[in-house]
Amino acid sequence: MTDTKEKYKYYAFISYNSKDTKWGKTIQRKLEGYRLPAKLCAQHGWERNPIKPVFFAPTDIQPGGLTVELQERLRASRHLIVICSPNSAKSEWVGKEIEYFHSLGRTKNIHFFIVDGEPHSGNPKTECFNPIIDKLGIPEILGANIHEKNVSSWPWIRKERAYVQLITKLLDIEFDAIWQRHKRQMAELFGMWVVGIGVIISILLLEWYSSQPVDIEVKLSEASYINNELPPLKDAVVTISLDNETKSDTIKSITHGTMFKNIPAKFIGQEVRFTVKCDDFHDTDTTLVLSELNTIEIHRNAEVYGNIHFRLWDVKNECPLANTAISIDGTEAVSDEEGNVALFMPIEKQKEHYTITTPLSNDIYTIYMPCGDYNAILIE
């Protein structure tokens, strides 16, 4: 390896036909980027990436005839790698590069990498070896073949094995010195691919699921004291906020819910905002973790039927009845100087209307809730 650095500018020269350019680029990248085992490098005094630089014409000069420049590049290369295919077998320039490198006395450093066709097939359509090989009497060497079927049924493994074959020929080491390690690395890489593909599939499935519309049910639950004397809930308007979109629907009664249809599934499990507006109940604005069945607690507004206020009026004398004792469904109260009566009835005693009696009259009066600003009890 030390001799290589001192004597040769390039570790290898890649000879190819322009129709096989992609293979030339791939082999150059594979060789220059290959990291050998640290132990093997220590034994030979190599770097972890010992096969570099590799000359490949498109990265340095334009391909063409065997110019003086190409001859200099060949002289400056320790090895010649021939990409073998029916294309290169017909190439005059590939033949000239092989012939010139052979003339330098480095025949043993010519390596064949078969990417297509068959060696010595005798058929111009499938022959992968350039005829100059037989003409020069270059010893038949079994090149690294990416289509060697007795290796594996998996094409990518056959390719990787061919790359390792070429590397071991270039370094003049035993094939198994790096192949077993390379197989373990491929197995690890395959495992990562499988995991990666699994993750990608999971993400795609999640995105697909998130994009599917679902129907969610919303029900209401009265959290305050339930008084059966009061009118039940009806026509509650429920609104759900999803990003910049809102959907509204009406719930007819506390025993019924409503369905919001075509809600993106991605919102399931996310916090979303609900608002509820309904007569006799406080407005509700809450955030829930969205599920397929959602229950929202609502609270009755105790002031609607509990805030009793009216005026006692003496019809005969046309004046308010001040400081007058009355009974509102058994609860005692007294009017003020202006005849006004104000009383808050606790929710458990609330009704839609209340019975009012007073010692001033034998009559029984009724006040209907909710009270207005001009309610009055007329006493004759």
**Structural element, H or E, at residue 209:** helix 176-211
Give per-residue pLDDT as tens, 140-162: 666 788 888 777 777 878 888 88
Q: Is the domain of 31 the same as that of 89?
A: yes
pTM comes to 0.53
Position 139 confidence tier, pLDDT thresholds 50, 70, 90: confident
Tell me: the pLDDT tens digits for 233-290?
Answer: 999 999 999 988 999 999 999 989 999 998 888 899 999 999 999 999 999 999 999 9
Q: Which two tokens stand for residue 112?
A: 């064949």
Predicted confidence (pLDDT) at residue 79 exceeds the cutoff of 90: yes
In a shared domain, residues 282 and 363: no
Asked which of 173, 201, 231 is the last residue of a domain, the reply is: 173
Give tens-digit pLDDT for 163-218: 888 998 999 888 887 877 777 777 677 778 788 898 899 888 877 776 788 999 99
Structural domain harbouring 354 = 303-379
**CB environment 275-286: b (16+ within 10 A), e (fewer):** bbbbebbbebee
Given 300, 319, 347, which residue is the final one in a domain? 300
Q: Both 148 and 16 in a single domain? A: yes
The share of the chain scoring above pLDDT 70, in percent, equals: 94
Q: What pLDDT is stored for residue 4 in this prediction?
A: 43
| pLDDT grade for 59, boundaries at 50, 70 and 90 | low
The pLDDT of residue 300 = 94
Q: Are residues 268 and 311 in the same domain?
A: no
Distance, CA of 151 to CA of 163 (rounded, Å): 13
Give per-residue pLDDT as tens, 83-107.
999 999 999 989 999 999 999 999 9
CATH number reported for the structural domain that contains residue 361 in this entry: 2.60.40.2070
The pLDDT confidence band at residue 64, using thresholds 50, 70 and 90, is low
- Is position 291 within any domain? yes
Strands in 130-270 per DSSP E: 144-145, 213-222, 236-242, 245-251, 258-264
In the prediction, which pLDDT does 264 show?
87
Residue 112, domain CATH: 3.40.50.10140
- Give the per-residue pLDDT at 32: 93
Residue 35 · residue 98 · CB < 8 Å: no
372 shares its domain with 228: no
Same domain, 118 and 242: no
Q: Is the pLDDT assigned to residue 3 strictly greater than 50?
A: no
Q: Which residues are bridge partners to 314 per DSSP? A: 319, 379
Predicted pLDDT of residue 337 = 95
Q: What is the pLDDT of residue 248?
A: 95
Indicate whether 291 and 318 sit together in one domain. Answer: no
Residues 11 and 46 in one domain: yes
Q: Specify whether 221 is located in the same domain as 309.
A: no
